[in-house]
Amino acid sequence: MLVAIISFAATIASIVLAVREVRGWRVNATATSSSEKDATPAKTERVPYRASSVAWALAFLAIQVFIGVWGALGLVQDEPIAPVIMNTVLTGCVYLSLARPRLRPRLLALFEPGSRWPHPQAACALAMVATGIFATLALELPSNHNLLWMYPLCLLLEIFLVTAVVAGFFYLFQRRGAASAIASFVFFAIGIAEYFVITFKSQPIQPGDLTAIATAAAVGGGYVFSITSFCLYGIVALALAMITSAYAALLKPDRTSRTRKQLLVNLLVGVLCLGGVIGHVVLIDYYNFLYIQVYTWRPLESYYRQGFIPSFISSAQTIQPRKPEGYTKSDAQDLIDEYAASYDAGTGATSERSEAVEQFEEVQPSVIVVMNETFSDLSDYDNLHAGYEGPEFFNSIDDAVQRGDLYVSAYGGGTCNTEFEFLTGNSMAYLGNGVYPYTIYNLTHAENLAQQFSDLGYTTTAMHPNHATNWNRENVYRDFGFDEFLAIEDFEGADTLRGMVTDAETYDKIVEMLETNDDPQFIFDVTMQNHSGYDTGLIPNDMQTNYLIDGTYDPEVNEYLALIEESDRALEEFLGELEELDRPVVVVFFGDHQPFFPSDFNDAWFQGEDDATHSERLYRTDYVIWANYDLAGNEQQSQQEDISTNFLAAEVMNLIGAPLSDYQKAQLALRESMPAINMIGYQDQAGAWHLSSAVADEHATEAFSAAQKAREDLAKMQYLKLFDHGDSVYTKTLQGAANETNPNLAPGTTKIK
């Protein structure tokens, strides 16, 4: 409320100053009119820049009013210093905006012939440099609180790019201040968006996020958009950029004295500035030439130290998939054949596998995959210093086929990437930082579980109780060959928790499908209940938890833990129902990623670790493979096996005796040297983790060297399977036209919803 009081008081002060300045216009106009012979009446006198000055003043007033309202709603950090500074600057900008007509003659007098000041054009250029600096600050300050930590050359590069853009628009629109002010506002808006994304996901904005704006909007209702003092300092920088633009515009010649040459020069300068930025971004390799690299294991640090724009450009340039070093199509296929042959001679030749294959052919079990939103066991973080033991039922399952830690490539968000890894068996490790294959790449040729089960005669169903457009699922599922996709409209009237359809409702739908259709089924359930944010306060009293972290109650953490307890309860009930079902069913249950907040615990409580071990803790969830029948060749005593998401589907198919593709066989054989891999790093046979950038040398262990070779081999095999198919790399949806046909759908199958 303090921020609201300060802002509204400053708004009143701004209005008082504005009224006094406008009255001064009238007095000056009257005095001028009465002193001139045959003068035009004052009320009809047209003084340049009055209308535009009012517009500038209203823009600054609108910012003050908005912050006042936002503060009254309790959505601004309640401390006095930042709002006082911000409102002082905004009030000053209101006054200076309306003073433009009065001050313009004095400003122009500084550049009269014989003065020591530079030419007006040079002054405009200097003003644009100042505007660029302020706009850069407006971009960075909301989320990057210590600019002194930035690499100086990266900061200079960012200032150069921002200045070129604001100056380009300034000159392109014939030195109009509004053009550069709007450009500055866009940079500020990006900075605010970056602040919110970091707040909600603990991750920066990355290029792939631009293809998922609709998804972000669809799930954004659970977040609280409160701002900090640093956001207010960003507004200060924006206001300074705008007022500098406003005064730079005063230096242009009057409309009556402009020449065609001046118009052409302005246009040329604007085109050169904007064209130079485009050419720079297209032609300069940020990753290899400028060494601006976004480290997958700590992307936030990369953005903080290198700046938003350089880091974003570097990430964008890596979206184009690059061929692995030494890649040829024939060599990649040879690798698949060699690894597949190794599987056939090893695991594939065991009696356990033979028994499972024989049983699968006989019973044709239905396979239910539950990718549970944000499900993870945070007791890994020293029991949260609160005695937290994790999801009770999940951890007590002792009759599973297999269970363990699951290494994923998403943290705090990016559900679709875990989904992509599981369904296709491909790893995000080779696709760059901030990439979302569902929204970017052409996946019509990608091998996937839906297609695989469909070829076995299964009915295939995807299920997600939210909008079908989220993460482009409606198109991806069609390409994958799912017979049906149940989205939010198929859950009308379902129970919700915090406005999200509950896990239990999706499980009820699955049981209903199993009871009403005797065909073997593959059902892929992407739940929604546990989606962030976790400060809604909508958990019913009987579900709330009261864990004190180091003696302090954290409402966000407790809301999340309450949701996990509810997921755990629903899972117990679901498996209990399946035990009573008179048909064979296999359940694969796993979490897609951790919530956004454990990074704080990780940094505070696990200091001194190597980067790989420290980072991988954040990219670890849990999985369990469970069956309601005695699975041949397996003791079903919850054997522990840690794995990564891209290998999990092949592991499931191997355990239940289902037919395997050569690519899946190759993956299983390759796991002997590299048991797990994700976008952070990879694990060797000895259990040690190595960052993706790690390189084996003559001192490397045998296990590390073998894992690195396996990683290189998998890169070539994956590139062959994902990209070397002759069609466009990018999805038709990204190119502006939704896929209309599905080459994977067999004749007569049901059209996907």
The pLDDT tens digits for 410-423 are 999 889 999 999 99
Which structural domain, as residue segments, surrounds residue 638? Answer: 340-686+704-722
What confidence tens digit (pLDDT) does each residue in 458-503 have?
Answer: 999 999 999 998 888 998 999 999 999 999 999 999 999 999 999 9
What does the block give as tokens for 371? 């990718």
Determine the pLDDT at residue 652: 98
Q: Are residues 124 and 227 in the same domain?
A: yes
pLDDT of residue 13: 93
| Pair 257, 345 in one domain | no
* pLDDT score, position 744: 42
CB 485 within 8 A of CB 551: no
d(CA 704, CA 700): 6
Q: Which amino acid is at 48?
A: P
- In terms of domains, do 69 and 214 share one? no
Classify residue 742: in a domain, yes or no.
no
Stretch 427-455: mean pLDDT, rounded?
Answer: 91
Whole-angstrom distance, CA of residue 59 vs CA of residue 61:
5
Rounded-to-integer distance, Cα 69 and Cα 65, Å: 6
- Contact in structure between 609 and 681 (CB atoms under 8 Å): no
Residue 744 counted as domain residue: no
Structure confidence at residue 738 (pLDDT): 39
Does 109 fall in a domain?
no
- The per-residue pLDDT for 511 is 98
φ and ψ at 734, to 5 degrees?
-65, -30
Rg (CA), the chain: 31
Mean pLDDT of 697-726: 93
Statement to judge: residues 356 and 314 lie in one domain: no
- Spatial distance between the Cα atoms of 264 and 624, rounded to a whole number of angstroms: 68
Type of residue at 343:
Y
Residues 415 and 468 in one domain: yes
Q: Express each pLDDT in 271-315 by its tens digit.
A: 999 999 999 999 998 887 898 988 766 778 889 999 999 999 988
pLDDT higher at 380 or 745: 380
pLDDT value of residue 215: 62
Is residue 33 located within the same domain as residue 178? no
Mind listing the pLDDT tens digit for each residue in 549-597?
A: 999 999 999 999 999 999 999 999 999 999 999 999 999 999 999 999 9
Q: In the chain, how many domains are there?
A: 3
Strands 548-549 and 620-627: unpaired
Answer whether residue 714 is part of any domain: yes
Band of residue 719 on the pLDDT scale cut at 50, 70, 90: very high
Domain shared by 161 and 283, yes or no: yes
Which DSSP symbol is given to 730? B
On the question of a cis peptide bond just before residue 413, with omega within 30 degrees of 0, the verdict is no
Q: Which of 213-222, 223-232, 284-293, 521-530 has the highest mean pLDDT?
A: 521-530
C-alpha span between 439 and 308 (Å, rounded) = 22
Say if 661 falls within a structural domain. yes
Compute the mean pLDDT over every residue in the chain, rounded to the nearest whole number.
Answer: 90
Whether 691 maps to a domain, the answer reads no
Q: What is the mean pLDDT of residues 231-254?
A: 93
Percent of the chain as helix, strand, coil, to the nearest 5: 55, 10, 35
pLDDT of residue 293: 83
**Those residues with Cβ within 8 angstroms of residue 349's Cβ, 6 or more apart along the chain or in another chain:** none
Question: Looking at the structure, do residues 350 and 302 belong to the same domain, yes or no?
Answer: no
- Under 8 Å between Cβ of 554 and 400: no
Stretch 592-605: mean pLDDT, rounded?
A: 95
* 434 plus 504 within the same structural domain: yes
Q: Please check whether residue 430 is in contact with residue 715, taking contact to mean a CB–CB distance below 8 angstroms.
A: yes
Q: Look up the CATH number of the domain holding residue 564.
A: 3.40.720.10
Separation between Cα atoms, residue 222 and residue 240, nearest integer Å: 34
5-12 average pLDDT score = 93
Is residue 381 included in any domain, yes or no?
Answer: yes
Which whole-number Å values give the CA distances from 200 to 547, 597, 752, in the listed order?
Answer: 21, 9, 33
pLDDT at 469: 85
Instruction: Return the structure tokens found at 628.
Output: 């309601």
- In this structure, the dihedral spanned by the alpha carbons of residues 60, 64, 66 and 67, taken in order and rounded to 10 degrees, is 130
The whole-number pLDDT of residue 27 equals 57
Mean pLDDT of 506-520: 97
Which of 199-208, 305-314, 694-703, 731-740 has the least mean pLDDT? Answer: 731-740
The string of pLDDT tens digits covering residues 154-212 is 999 999 999 999 999 999 999 999 999 999 999 999 999 999 988 887 778 877 677 66
Q: For residue range 657-686, what is the model confidence (pLDDT) as tens digits?
A: 999 999 999 999 999 999 999 999 999 999
On whether the CB atoms of residues 673 and 667 are closer than 8 A, the answer is no
Confidence at residue 47, expressed as pLDDT on a 0 to 100 scale = 59
155 and 99, same domain (yes or no): no
Which DSSP letter does residue 431 get?
Answer: S
**Concatenated DSSP letters for 659-718?**
---HHHHHHHHHTTT-SEE-SSEEE-TTS-EEETT----TTS-HHHHHHHHHHHHHHHHH
Distance between CA 509 and CA 669 in Å, rounded?
37
Within this chain, do residues 312 and 220 fall inside the same structural domain, yes or no? Answer: yes
Distance in angstroms (rounded) separating the CA atoms of residues 185 and 206: 20
**Residue 277 host element (H or E):** helix 260-283
What pLDDT score does 200 carry?
A: 82
In a domain, 503, yes or no: yes
32-73 per-position pLDDT tens digit: 555 544 444 444 335 567 888 999 999 999 999 999 999 999
User: What is the CB neighbour count within 10 angstroms for residue 206?
Assistant: 22
Distance (Å, rounded) from C-alpha 736 to C-alpha 691? 37
Same domain, 292 and 355: no
- Among the three residues 318, 351, 380, which one is the final residue of a domain in this structure? 318
8-16: which pairs have CB atoms within 8 A and are 24 or more residues apart?
8/68, 9/87, 10/64, 10/87, 10/88, 10/90, 10/91, 11/61, 11/64, 11/65, 11/68, 11/87, 13/91, 14/57, 14/60, 14/61, 14/64, 14/90, 14/91, 14/94, 14/95, 15/61
Contacts of 710 (CB under 8 A, 6+ apart): 670, 673, 674, 682
